[in-house]
Structure 1
Amino acid sequence: MEDEHTALKVEAAIIDLIGRDKLTNRVRGWQSGVFGRVEVNQLISHYEREQVNIDEPAILIRLNRLFRYDMNDIELYDATRGVWRIGEDREKVEYAFAIFDGIVHEIYKVIAWFKAGSTFNTRGPLEDEPTRWEFVGQTAEESIRSKYIGKSVEHYLPRSVQNPIKYVNIKED
């Protein structure tokens, strides 16, 4: 192998290919949630990068540190919904977009916002932080999901921007 980084990627891919349940490994391999097995539609989205413009009032939430390709629906929802340091414009959004690597992976219809740590989540108890918020919602309707999932929104969230949150189509008061 050229270097340790390449060797670790190959190890993660092989563990995914063989199946962790057939091995004695306690973990799947280095960053295997990012570099391991990926669904074909996710792979196509990653390389095709079809850009889409968002029409609805939305909040884009970049999940770079929290995202894994093998996340189940509940894990992705909990990672997307909170806890975020955001302002009052949160009340103006209709949809929250789960973004990884500039690609839309899921969309949620926001029902209500709550102080961080005040609603149940699968990540366990969260510290009560007065400046952080989380939303409760549901998977968006299919007409919205089919319009955006798998498409690129990296023009809204350039890699050079540190903030993981971006409001889109929010009307000024």
Structure 2
Amino acid sequence: MDDVPAVAAAARTVAELAAVLRGLRQRQARVAGAHRVSYRALAKQAGWSHGIVGGYLSGTSLAPADRFDVLIRLLGATPAEQRALATARDQVEERRRGAVPPAVPAHRVRPAPRHLPGDVAGFTGRHRELAELDALAATPPERRTAVVISSVSGTAGVGKPNPEN
């Protein structure tokens, strides 16, 4: 990586900043004469988990400022590069904080459940049962000898709420 301060200054997102860190990692490997510097080696030196280091270098998470400073030192950044990278990290964080979250409605409108079958035009074969209910309801109160309680039962969707159909 030739001009780390310029590349860091151009970073606008966590992913772009992570790309700069990966460039430093490659440069550090060349300086050390190694194929690469592993996440595990960086994690061991920093005292963090390798998953955390992986998150920082892949761009899935932004390192807190103190950890970022440790990480860029471990990656061999010069003092000038460290200043530029720290500034870039702070600007990325500010952009993230300033981002407007998507609008969320005050309460989510849910559709009404539709568990019952659709309306049916009419039913047949209930004339006798309906006549019995009508007769019970038509008895004048003075001729009743007991309280009459009637119920209509049946499986769902057969028209119990609307028996006159």
More strand, by proportion: 1
Flag whether TM exceeds 0.5 (same fold): no
Q: Answer with 1 or 2: which has the greater Rg.
A: 2
More helix, by proportion: 2
TM-score by length of 1: 0.21
TM-score by length of 2: 0.22
